[in-house]
Each structure stands twice: as C-alpha cells, then as structure tokens.
Amino acid sequence: MPLKALPELTLSHSAMTILEAAEQAGRLHLAGSVEELLALATPDAALGLGEVRPDGYYTVGYDVKGEFVPEAEVCRTKNGIAANYLDPYMRRRDPDCMLVGDGAATDKPTFETRFGESFDGLREETLDWLKHQPIACFFFRTGLPDNPLNAVAIAPANAGFFALGLAMLQGIVPLDEVRKAGADYHHGAIVYVAPPFRHTHFDGKQVVVHNRRFEDNIDLHELFSYNLYPGPSAKKGVYGMLLTLGERDEQPWTTAHCSTVVVVTPYENQTVIMHEGASGGGKSEMLEQMHRQADGTLLLGENLVTGDARKLTLPRGCDLLPVTDDMALCHPALQKHEGPVKKLSLIDAENAWFVRVNHIHQYGVDPALEGITVAPEGPLLFLNIDAKPGSTALIWEHTLDEPGKPCPNPRVVVPREYVPNVVKKPVEVDIRSFGVRCPPCTAEHPTYGIMGLFHVLPPSLAWLWRLVAPRGHGNPSIVDQGGMQSEGVGSFWPFATGRKVDQANILLDQVMSTSSTQFVLIPNQHIGCWKVGFAPQWIAREYLARRGASPFRPGDLSPARCPLLGFHKETLQVEGQTIGKWFMDVSQQPEVGEQAYDTGATILTEFFHSQLREFLVDDLRPLGKQIIEACLDDASADQYAAIEG
C-alpha cells in the first residue's frame, strides 16, 4: 500500500519527512504484514536492495566512508530466516549501550555526558541519512490491549530481518486498520534504525538512544537504534518505552522482567509462578520441562570436588501452561481482588518470545521447544544459529564465535501463538520467585554461591532483592564485565529511562500490597560446590506447585545463616524422595563449611550495602528507607518478616 493510500495519517513531522522522501524516490516499502517483511529479509532483484548470492546468502551491510562494511549474513531456511552477525561482539547485548538523548529527569547516562554534546545534532544527521535510504516502515503497538501505545518503525529496507524481528516481537498493525482509523490513529513512539552510525560515530559499539520529546503536539518517545542486534532496541528498547509509560501514569505501574507459568500438578491443582531475574536468571527455563538424563532421571547436581552425582526420579512432571517469557504488564487495571487476598495480576507484554537456546546443545534436550522450532506453524527468526540456505535451522547448532567456541547467546523468535497451551488472559500470581546465577563455592575458594535450593523471603526482603538484582556468574546473554554486578532495580533497570527511585517506589508499592503472593529465591548453575544448572528451579517448581500456594506453617522453615537469604527448609521431599540438608543449607556441605559460607555471606552483604545506599534519597518512600536501613543494620530474617506495608 503506498503512503498516499493513508491520506489522513498524522505522524510526527520528522517521520513523515523520511517516508515522503522515500516514496518520492520509489524506495518506500510500507508493510502491513509479517509476510511482507519476510520478503525484505532475503529480497529478490526487483526490490532494488541487492540480491541473494548464488550460494543462498544475503549480505546486510552499509557504506561507511566509501567502504562497504558487512553487518550480517541472512538466509532463508525451511522454517524461517536465519541471520548471523559477522562480528561476535554483535551477538550479545552490550550492557552499556543505552543512553538518554533528552533533558528530562533520568539517572541513566546521557548522550551529552558521554560524548560532550547535545544529541540534537546527531538526531538530525540520522534523520537526514534515513531520507536517502530505501525504507521499510510498519506500525506496531505495545502495552495493554485495551489502551495500547501505538508506534512506528522506520528502518533501512535491507535490514529486513531486523524489521521482521521487531514486528514479530511486538506485533504488526495491518495497514487497512491504520487507513480506517485515519486522523484518529496517533502514535506515541517511534523506532529509527541507522546501523552504519555504529562505525562512524561510536567506534563499533552498540548504542541505543532514547529521546523523549514533544513534537507537533505529540508526546513522543523516540528510540534511535544504531545497531542491528534486536536485543537492545527491538526488544529491550521497546521495554524501555513501556517502563516510561508506567512512570508517567496517574497511578504508576511497571512491566516486570519475568517469565510466568501456570503449573498444573498430576493431581490437577494449579499454581501460578512468576520468575524474575537478571538476564540469564532462568526466566525461559522456568517455562521448560525438566531436562532429563537418558535413563529418565533428573540430574540434581555434580560435586565439583568429589565427582559425585545426585539424581532424582520423578515419573511425571507437572504440566506447564506458559503465560509470559520475559516481560509482563503489571497494570492496576488487571487486579482482580480488593479484599484480604492480595495477589499480583499480570498479562504478557509481548507478541513473540526472544528465546535463548545456548543450553540446548544437542537433540533431545528440550523436545517441546525443538518440536516448535523444527516444524513451526509459520516462519521463525533464528539469530546466531548455524543454518544453511534451504536447510532446517536447528536450535542446537550454534554459530561459532571462534573455532571450538560456540556463541553463548543463540536465539530464536517464536510467536506466542505457536506455543502450545499458551495462556492469553491475565493471571494471578501465587508464587513470585527471583533467580540468581551463582558461582561454585568451596572452602578453598569462597564466593557468594551460598544459596540453597530455594529460600522463602518476606516481602520486605523480596523488595531488596529486586533493588539489587545481582547479574551473577557466567551470564550468557550480555557482554561479560566480570565479577558480581547489579542488573539494577527490578532487573529491568538497563532498559529504563527515568530515575531509580521512581521505579523503586513503584516496586515497593507493588510488592508490599500483594503480600498474599509468596516470595522465593532460587539459584541456578551452582549450589555451593555442586554444579546444578537449572535443576533447582525445576525442582522448586515441582515441589512448590505440589504443596500449593498456602503459607508455610510455623516450624516448617529455619532462618538462613545469612539473613539476606531469608528462610529455608531443612530437608525437602519430592514424590517420596528426600533432598538432604546439603542442598538446603550450603554451610553444611563438607567441601564448603561454615567459615567459607560466612565469607560468601560477607561478600553478598557488602554488595547489597553498596547497592542499596544509592536509594537512600529524599524521594524514597519512608517504608523503603526503613527496609534499607534495616539491611544496613544487619537485620535478621525475623526482623525483615516483621516489617509490613
């Protein structure tokens, strides 16, 4: 559909200027369906975007100071589109990529602070560059279905695979719907994509600039993406738009960084578990069935010191009904109860899921996801997967960063409608867990890897974990910075545009007002000296769902030796099998001991103290100050439990 077929369209002046210039030059590709963007991903000669080579690959690249610089190679497979970045750095999100380009209130690094000049000049230069490119444009929406944030995407047309990913993740609005709305179709957000600026202005680094402005009587959230990895922009950039929207609402709300699943036990009881955490904290894994050994058992862990292994036999796992994979709208309008039952309600914020598959290293690890991706209902987008033109892209065949070293962040974009048994309506959360990647801890090498299989947290302590949000050990999703890092408030802070204290207050109100939801803490990768992968959260999920969401009885739990870990079970029984105290209280492991545990507790405590002091500002709620000061005074688990909203 040509632009003139939308005569009453009221986009911002900046956007309309680009689209009109592209249409006048015969270079505008206005898309209203995923199929149209699929055609741009591997274009034919008629589209004037270069051609697919005889070997079946299409190279996406740009002129940089007179030299063609390739960014990615794309090919069409039987089950979708596979794109591989030629620079291994581009295969993971850079945690320092986000900047704010405007002068509104923010705690994030600004463009002006980093580069010593206003963003206005580069903004105009970016818009001017886009005016001279073949353009792919489409409309999408995000947010509540009944009150969405309408948005526009403008990208160079040869970056069809990137546009495809954005359209799949957020959904694409049919052009007929935009035409019928006419002057009533208003957009509050726009994404501009300009990949060569990564080389000309940013020394090859990923940069995404959020620019909140008022233009043509429109409150507009502009997002300038200067790279083609969708993680920082098409995915997390739009996440930032939602967080900004929630901050500005009359009754502030947030979009949680979490997966959510309805767990149905063999006895047909249902429990809703919401699992939060920094990147790599096990969100996608919470939606997966347990990864079993060849004999059908579940490997609980392998002792890194003795070589011993512990297995569990669970003849039947719970059924899983997925709700969200990474982003959940927690809007007040979704709340169901106003009485004594105080539970959080949420709904998925995405149209498709950006699933990391680094842990799927061979056929049979996750049959459900393998089945969806090998023979999907429609085309998928594969990133960092070693697929050949015309082949079936296989999620266990990962692109190599270098010989013998697979990329740690292979991804597949799966529309949620392709996911079996996906829940489409809002749900109430029974159990709200937080995942942390933990390093091994031994007497010889003490670390913060002192968490047991799961810990129960009082709401006040659960809020503190969401302020600190440790990124943890061996993160596969982002460029590693080494050591223990904080993902920031909510674990979504890398994507937010405003102030930490505002998000802290929103989370405080949310956590303390939903005290009927039970809070737990679950490690992954290691429990003390035991290498466990994601087994702890699968076992915790099976146990917690079977026992139901009722509170633990007095005497069921013991205070953890480290108060920041709340309470734990002494032992655990799952389907008649006992998991001993070594996995519940790491100080009891002979290879760790109390001294190494206490050293790890000190590491964790000092890290919490250093992060939490930043929140002691005038605008923090008095209750929040009380909780943080309790932590700084080394409060006990019982003292945290005594703090009420």
Which pLDDT tens digit goes with each residue over 620-644? 999 999 999 999 999 999 999 999 8
416-437: per-residue pLDDT in tens?
999 999 999 999 999 999 999 9
The number of distinct structural domains making up the chain is 2
Would you say residue 261 has pLDDT above 70?
yes
312-329: per-residue pLDDT in tens?
998 889 999 999 999 999
Residue 174 lies in a domain: yes
Question: In the predicted model, what is the mean pLDDT of the chain?
Answer: 93
Residue 420 lies in a domain: no
Alpha-carbon span 501 to 506, nearest angstrom: 9
Question: Which one, of 397, 468, 487, 37, lies nearest residue 234 by Cα?
Answer: 37
Q: Are residues 292 and 220 in the same domain?
A: no
264-280: per-residue pLDDT in tens?
999 899 999 999 998 78
pLDDT computed for residue 337 by the predictor: 59
Q: What is the mean pLDDT of residues 114-123?
A: 97
Q: Are residues 143 and 236 in the same domain?
A: yes
Q: Are residues 315 and 190 in the same domain?
A: no
Q: Are residues 470 and 502 in the same domain?
A: yes
pLDDT computed for residue 350 by the predictor: 95
- Can you say whether residue 500 is alpha, beta or left, with left for phi > 0 and alpha for psi between -120 and 50 degrees? alpha
Q: Are residues 539 and 577 in the same domain?
A: yes
pLDDT computed for residue 47 by the predictor: 87
Q: Average the pLDDT over each of 10-24, 173-187, 264-278, 494-508 and give the range with the smallest value.
A: 173-187
Q: What is the mean pLDDT of residues 71-84?
A: 98
Alpha-carbon span 206 to 226, nearest angstrom: 7
Question: Which one, of 411, 358, 419, 343, lies nearest residue 383 by Cα?
Answer: 411
CB 49 within 8 A of CB 134: yes
What domain range includes position 231? 3-40+93-248
Domain boundary among 192, 222, 248: 248
Q: What is the mean pLDDT of residues 227-239?
A: 94
Rg over alpha carbons for the chain, rounded to the nearest Å, is 25
Of the pLDDT bands very low, low, confident and very high (cuts 50, 70, 90), residue 341 is: low
**Coil/strand/helix, residue 643:** coil
Residue 365 lies in a domain: no
Q: If you ran DSSP here, which 8-state letter would residue 482 be given?
A: -
Q: How many CA atoms lie within 13 A of 157 on its CB side?
A: 26
Q: Are residues 266 and 157 in the same domain?
A: no
Residue 569 lies in a domain: yes
**Greater model confidence, 619 or 334:** 619
pLDDT computed for residue 388 by the predictor: 97
**Greater model confidence, 186 or 226:** 226
What separation in angstroms does the CA of 33 have from each of 17, 26, 139, 163, 222? 23, 20, 10, 11, 23
Of the pLDDT bands very low, low, confident and very high (cuts 50, 70, 90), residue 478 is: low
Report the share of the chain in percent with pLDDT over 70.
97
Residue 462 lies in a domain: yes
The enclosing domain of 238 has a CATH number of 3.40.449.10
Domain boundary among 216, 248, 280: 248
Alpha-carbon span 264 to 542, nearest angstrom: 9
Cα dihedral 333, 334, 337, 341, rounded to 10, equals: -130
pLDDT computed for residue 21 by the predictor: 96
pLDDT computed for residue 355 by the predictor: 92
Of the pLDDT bands very low, low, confident and very high (cuts 50, 70, 90), residue 101 is: very high
Of the pLDDT bands very low, low, confident and very high (cuts 50, 70, 90), residue 9 is: confident
Q: What is the mean pLDDT of residues 559-575?
A: 95
Q: Are residues 190 and 136 in the same domain?
A: yes
Residue 359 lies in a domain: no
Residue 409 lies in a domain: no
Would you say residue 479 has pLDDT above 60?
no
